[in-house]
């Protein structure tokens, strides 16, 4: 695997060699080796031979393909079914079904998803049941009763969304005290960037009227005093998060349940971004003991400037399907939570804040530049969270300064979310080799909120500017940020191509992209983002046998009908990890 090399001559041609290789895969003519003919398949053994008219290799170099042979963990051959002369243990006749490379969710949180599967589900429909404060309180009370949670034990819920609660506000300590004064309660906002707590939770965290706001965070107060109202933003959540979401108590069963959730959506490579080294140790133990059914890329958080890889672990290499792939930095918060750092004020500021409120960064610009320079020069790939365009400026300026100081070839720094990135920023990102990974599902889940409250109509129409990136020839990836939203890749593709909000309105029609371009973003582009384009992302001989079967060909489907498609089978390294016919109802 190629990693950033320190001290190399700063050459635009060399820096873009990786993207040129990717572009080669996407050209009409292709530029790979020719597909083997029938003679080369004589005597070849395949465990599985997939045969059908709807095989999307995502590799133009292979030409039309009607058969794919898998041997062990590898794609052994692709070509015309009439040219196959080998032996296959299983022949899968696809019929009208489609075969594709396995989906790669370019950013997410495996361990957080594993935890949320057992927490109180406070999300709005279609993910959960909460529509207003009373239904939220009822869901919490039912959760406590159903689990018979003892007094004094933590009660944690996740997914509440003030933008979709009828009252259009966060639950506060009074709301949650009405649920229980005998349990510490913490509710994680759907964005993961805010939290609502009751009085007992605040006491356990030592947060009082005298507690100052921490750097990069806010303790919201009652309107008539300095007394905390129970809502915490960004770094202010830290003391509580450590109390109830530490790595202790996370089990192999929970991790496997989360991997199953990814697999049923066709995902074959997952991430745990902003992880801890303790989590790495846990996942490594699980991987060595019972194995991991999907590949897992880990991005330990690097906000403190330390990146001490455990002895025996090599950056960018798998061991038992687990890989430390880089580090994660955070520059700002959430647009739907109105903590993202914008260059222009929010359309409607949060209650009690001035009209010129623009959110805020979670670190200083000087600190961001220092960290980016340190990791880039050390050859450590970075995923950097930047939702607001002011935060995007911090990231871009940091990379530009770092490259001027230490020229690096093919660093592939990733801007995570890039929700409000401007055209001038896309131009600079292209020049600097920064990859945008768009959280395109925002268009559906929060598009109406962005238009009416967060950004206003003009800026909201440009969230996740995928078409603007394509016009510049700037490849990008797409992600779900699970568990912020479920790892539903078909809904993600639908959102990027159709751009329909919850209310049924189209938000930013000019930013729509084709289904093929969206598929590239979650296959070959996503593999390239993590330096894995030689192993994954296309159905190409010699690559890893990660693939999925869909109920129909997505390229023959109108964008608005993509949600009608189903994942029928997911195969990771040649092994079926999800089969809809055998799945529990």
Is residue 340 domain-shared with residue 203, that is, in the same domain?
no
Give the pLDDT confidence of 88-119 residue by residue, as tens digits.
999 999 999 999 999 999 999 999 899 888 88
Closest CA to 207 of 220, 223, 194: 220
Predicted pLDDT of residue 37: 54
Predicted pLDDT of residue 326: 97
* pLDDT for the residue numbered 393: 98
Helical H segments across 290-388, by residue range:
365-377
pLDDT digits 0-9 by tens, 184-204: 999 999 888 889 999 999 999
Least trusted range by pLDDT, from 56-70, 417-431, 521-535: 56-70
Query: Is pLDDT of 246 > 60?
Result: no
What is residue 55's DSSP assignment? B
* 257 and 239 co-located in one domain: no
Domain-located, residue 23: no
Residue 459 and residue 522 in one domain = yes
| 137 and 168 part of one domain | yes
Q: Are 488 and 532 in contact (CB under 8 A)?
A: no
CA distances from 335 to 303, 342, 349, 463 (A): 21, 9, 11, 10
* Residue 230 in this model has a pLDDT that exceeds 90: yes
CATH of the domain at 291: 3.20.20.140
**Residue 6, domain member (yes or no):** no
Q: Are residues 485 and 515 in the same domain?
A: yes
Give the tens place of pLDDT for each residue, 250-267: 899 999 999 999 999 999
Task: Please check whether residue 295 lies inside any domain of the structure.
Answer: yes
Domain that holds residue 135: 129-244
Angle between helices 389-405 and 423-432 (to 10 degrees): 30
**Position 461 pLDDT exceeds 70:** yes
Inside any domain, residue 134: yes
Q: How confident is the model at residue 39 (pLDDT cuts 50, 70, 90)?
A: low
Q: Last residue of some domain: 211, 244, 277?
A: 244
Average pLDDT (14-29) is 36
Same domain, 446 and 334: yes
Same domain, 345 and 466: yes
In a domain, 365, yes or no: yes
| Residue 20 belongs to some domain of the structure | no
Q: Residue 520 domain-assigned?
A: yes
Judge if 301 and 410 occupy the same domain.
Answer: yes
Q: How many C-alpha atoms does 289 have within 13 Å on its Cβ side? A: 10
Is there a single domain that holds both residue 284 and residue 383?
yes
Of 210, 244, 278, the residue that ends a domain is 244
| DSSP string for residues in 502-556 | TTS-BS-GGG---HHHHHHHTTHHHHHHTT-TTTSSS--TTSB--EEEESS-GGG
Comparing 42 with 216, the larger pLDDT belongs to 216
Whether 198 and 335 share a structural domain? no
Say if residues 55 and 550 touch (Cβ distance below 8 Å). Answer: no
Which of 182, 210, 244 is the endpoint of a domain?
244
Which run of H or E residues covers position 75? strand 74-79
Residues 545 and 397 placed together within one structural domain of the fold = yes
Q: Give the start-end residues of each E strand in 315-355.
A: 318-319, 322-324, 327-330
pLDDT of res. 1:
37
pLDDT tens digits for range 315-353 = 999 999 999 999 999 999 999 989 999 999 999 999 889
The string of pLDDT tens digits covering residues 371-414 is 999 999 999 999 999 999 999 999 999 999 999 999 998 999 99
CATH number of the domain enclosing 181: 3.10.310.70
In a domain, 285, yes or no: yes
240 and 258 assigned to the same domain: no
240: pLDDT strictly greater than 90: no
| pLDDT for residue 14 | 28
Number of domains in the chain: 2
Tell me the C-alpha to C-alpha distance, in Å, between residue 207 and each of 38, 58, 203, 430: 71, 53, 6, 44
């Amino acid at each position: 695997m190629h990693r950033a090399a320190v001290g190399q001559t700063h050459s635009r041609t060399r820096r873009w060699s990786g993207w040129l290789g990717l572009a080669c895969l996407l050209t009409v003519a292709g530029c790979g080796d020719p597909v083997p003919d029938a003679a080369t398949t004589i005597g070849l053994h395949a465990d599985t031979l997939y045969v059908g008219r709807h095989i999307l290799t995502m590799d133009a170099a292979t030409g039309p393909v009607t058969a794919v042979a898998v041997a062990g963990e590898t794609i052994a051959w692709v070509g015309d079914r009439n040219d196959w002369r080998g032996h296959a243990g299983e022949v899968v006749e696809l019929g009208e079904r489609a075969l594709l490379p396995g989906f790669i969710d370019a950013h997410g949180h495996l361990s957080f998803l594993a935890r949320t599967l057992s927490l109180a589900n406070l999300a709005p429909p279609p993910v959960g049941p909460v529509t207003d404060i009373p239904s939220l309180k009822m869901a919490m009370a039912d959760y406590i009763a159903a689990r018979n949670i003892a007094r004094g034990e933590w009660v944690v819920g996740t997914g509440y969304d003030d933008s979709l609660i009828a009252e259009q506000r966060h639950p506060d300590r009074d709301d949650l005290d009405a649920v229980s004064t005998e349990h510490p309660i913490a509710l994680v906002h759907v964005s993961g960037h805010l939290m609502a707590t009751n009085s007992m939770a605040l006491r356990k965290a030592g947060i009082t009227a005298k507690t100052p706001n921490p750097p990069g965070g806010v303790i919201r107060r009652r309107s008539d005093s300095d007394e905390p109202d129970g809502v915490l933003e960004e770094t202010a959540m830290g003391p509580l998060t450590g109390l109830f979401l530490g790595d202790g108590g996370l089990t192999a069963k929970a991790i496997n349940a989360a991997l199953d959730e990814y697999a049923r959506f066709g995902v074959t490579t997952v991430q745990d971004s902003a992880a801890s080294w303790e989590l790495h140790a846990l996942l490594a133990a699980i991987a060595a003991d019972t194995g991991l059914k999907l590949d897992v890329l880990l991005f330990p958080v690097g906000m403190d400037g330390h990146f001490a890889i455990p002895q025996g672990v090599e950056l960018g290499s798998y061991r038992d399907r687990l890989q430390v792939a880089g580090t994660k930095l955070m520059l700002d918060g959430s647009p739907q939570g109105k903590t993202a750092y914008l260059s222009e004020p929010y359309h409607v500021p949060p209650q009690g804040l001035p009209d010129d409120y623009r959110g805020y960064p979670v670190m200083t610009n000087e600190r961001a530049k220092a960290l980016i320079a340190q990791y880039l020069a050390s050859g450590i790939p970075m995923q950097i969270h930047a939702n607001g365009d002011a935060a995007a400026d911090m990231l871009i300026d940091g990379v530009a300064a770092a490259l001027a100081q230490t020229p690096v070839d093919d660093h592939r720094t990733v801007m995570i979310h890039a929700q409000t990135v401007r055209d001038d920023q896309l131009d600079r990102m292209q020049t600097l080799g920064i990859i945008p990974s768009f959280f395109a599902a925002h268009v559906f889940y929060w598009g109406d909120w962005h238009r009416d409250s967060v950004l206003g109509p003009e800026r909201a129409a440009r969230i996740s500017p995928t078409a603007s990136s394509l016009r510049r020839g700037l490849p990008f990836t797409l992600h779900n940020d699970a568990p912020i939203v479920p790892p539903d890749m078909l809904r993600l593709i639908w959102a990027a191509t159709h751009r329909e909000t919850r209310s049924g309105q189209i938000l930013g029609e000019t930013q729509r992209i084709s289904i093929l371009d969206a598929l590239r973003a979650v296959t070959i582009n996503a593999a390239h983002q993590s330096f894995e384009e030689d192993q994954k992302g296309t159905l190409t001989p010699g690559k890893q046998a990660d693939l999925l079967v869909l109920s129909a060909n997505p390229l023959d489907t109108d964008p608005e009908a993509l949600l009608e498609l189903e994942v029928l089978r997911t195969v990771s390294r040649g092994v079926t990890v999800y089969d809809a016919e055998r799945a529990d109802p």
